[in-house]
Chain A
């Protein structure tokens, strides 16, 4: 018997625009690489179609698609020089020697590989090898998209940011579509115009970094993006109030829509938006009483943990805020940033 569990990817539909920079973000095993390999043609989906420029390429081999891919571990052809490595995809496609040379030199300048062209590719450091892999994708002038599968995993931290900046620069210069797979939210948010968050074979949300941060469409997105992630509090709905840990928070008409959707309800708010008051604030209807149970100094800011009833929430504070461990306080949930989720999906 076939069930949904047999599929690495659940049904999904995505349109990626020419020239865009996209990041596929999700934990290990969520199906990011599978999706990427389907796009590049290394895998053939059991069901569904892949369209490039409106043309069905589902059955086309990787070489027949104008898509390049860079892998987690740098792949270079050991026996060849850097130049031969870069020329390899062109020579395989019957490009003349002169044309290939011109193109390789152009890409080598872009990737700052000119001085390495005559060297054997085998003994070079990982970041240079990874630039060579990237270069093999870029040399093909017909290439419409470059897929990058966690390309910075094996790169030393101090050259990571250089390579990341290089990617942004290349994208700006060549306007080639980038699809970047990562489990690192910082990489995803800094590189991409749009981030696609995946979990367990599903696409949970697609949006700009700001949208993902401010309006997570799914509790997983709230939890996965941000450091610390969104505070997620199980709640019940009573009229226009959410009841959390025995306390009532006024949320307004959104409660009606949540009730209409049914299922379990969760209240979500980012630590950055939660406000901590030493005394009862004016907007008392959207605040509740709590006790500070810990303050963590994180350099530029502080993270306070506050407890009410059975619930613990994290609050981001500025460095100047002085707050005592064990102090009583009021937590304000500003209405625009307080999200309500029914069965983990945001209630608009």
Chain B
């Protein structure tokens, strides 16, 4: 039987193209537009070509923010993914207790992001914050407003507190989806609990972990609100990540051209990293 060949089928794509156009392509194009011009006033603009890109890519301040960003994302991923997995594995199985744990676990996810920053800003203060006062009382000098290392620790701990529950929830759902027969077969085959984890749970969680890793990477790489409220990027530039640097450029200094060029580069970096993660995580399936 010959396949019907009708080019009108492409018309079915129009609604999607329209939605994607309005939601992504057109806004992105305005940014592209800014990134290649120097806009001096409403009617005064000069085409500058790649100049802004060149300026942005050679900016040492941006390099600093980029390196800090990579270190930050790497640290939170390295902590949150294994920790979330361990929490999911140790969740109680009994109906009431598992529901209760899920609710408690999900609480940080329900708090608005700027409130998270505020909570930790107060919590970590050395004069009135419960956490800050307690740490200093233990004899450990701690002050996140003046010590760069303390500020880093605080931002990372805050992010872990905020987002590990998401990983744990995803992994918990993934674990519940594994049929009981796999565990029974593993017991009969004499598999150790490590063997069960390595050969059943981990492979079956691969899809969920890929999603979790990608979500957390993208979110952490674009983090803005919480460190902005908590440390304001300080002390100095110690916790200034890419988004905050961008905001300073665009809103603070009103350098729209470089900010737009930076946005494009930023977008491409997130896209590239995500794609690389995805390729690595799914490499086994294509073989």
Interface set of A (CB-CB < 8 Å, partner B): 37, 40-42, 61-63, 67-69, 71-73, 75, 77-80, 88-89, 92-93, 120, 133, 136-137
Contacts and interface: CB of A to CB of B under 8 A. Distances in A.
Interface of B: 179, 181-182, 184-185, 187-192, 195, 199-200, 203-204, 284, 287
A77, A80, A88: which has the most chain B beta carbons within 10 Å? A77
Nearest to B182: A75
Contacts of A89: 188-190
Given A77-B200, A79-B203, A71 B192 contact: no
B178 to A, nearest CB: 11
A120 B287 CA distance: 10
Contacts of B195: 92
A189 to B, nearest CB: 26
Given A79-B203, A92-B195, A71 B184 contact: yes
B181 A77 contact: no
A42 B184 contact: yes
Contacts of A75: 181-182, 184-185
Contact of B190 (A69, A79, A92, A120): A92
Contacts of B199: 77, 79-80, 88
Given A61-B187, A89-B190, A136-B185, 16 more contacts: A37-B184, A40-B188, A62-B188, A63-B187, A63-B190, A69-B188, A71-B181, A73-B181, A75-B185, A77-B200, A79-B284, A88-B189, A92-B189, A92-B192, A93-B190, A137-B188
A63 B193 CA distance: 12
**From A37, A61, A79, residue with most partner B Cβ within 10 Å:** A79
B187 A42 contact: yes
Contacts of B192: 92
A71 B184 CA distance: 9
Contact of A69 (B179, B184, B203, B287): B184
Nearest to B199: A77
B286 to A, nearest CB: 11
Contacts of A63: 187-190
B188 A68 contact: yes
A62 B184 CA distance: 9
Nearest to A84: B199
Contacts of A37: 184
Contact of B187 (A62, A88, A120, A133): A62
**6 closest residue pairs by CB, A with B:** A92-B190, A63-B190, A75-B185, A89-B189, A71-B181, A62-B187
Nearest to B189: A89
Contacts of A71: 181, 184-185
Contacts of B182: 75
Nearest to B204: A78
Nearest to B202: A79
A67 B188 CA distance: 8
Contacts of A73: 179, 181
A93 B200 CA distance: 18
Contacts of A77: 199-200, 203
Contacts of B189: 63, 88-89, 92, 136
A77 B189 CA distance: 11
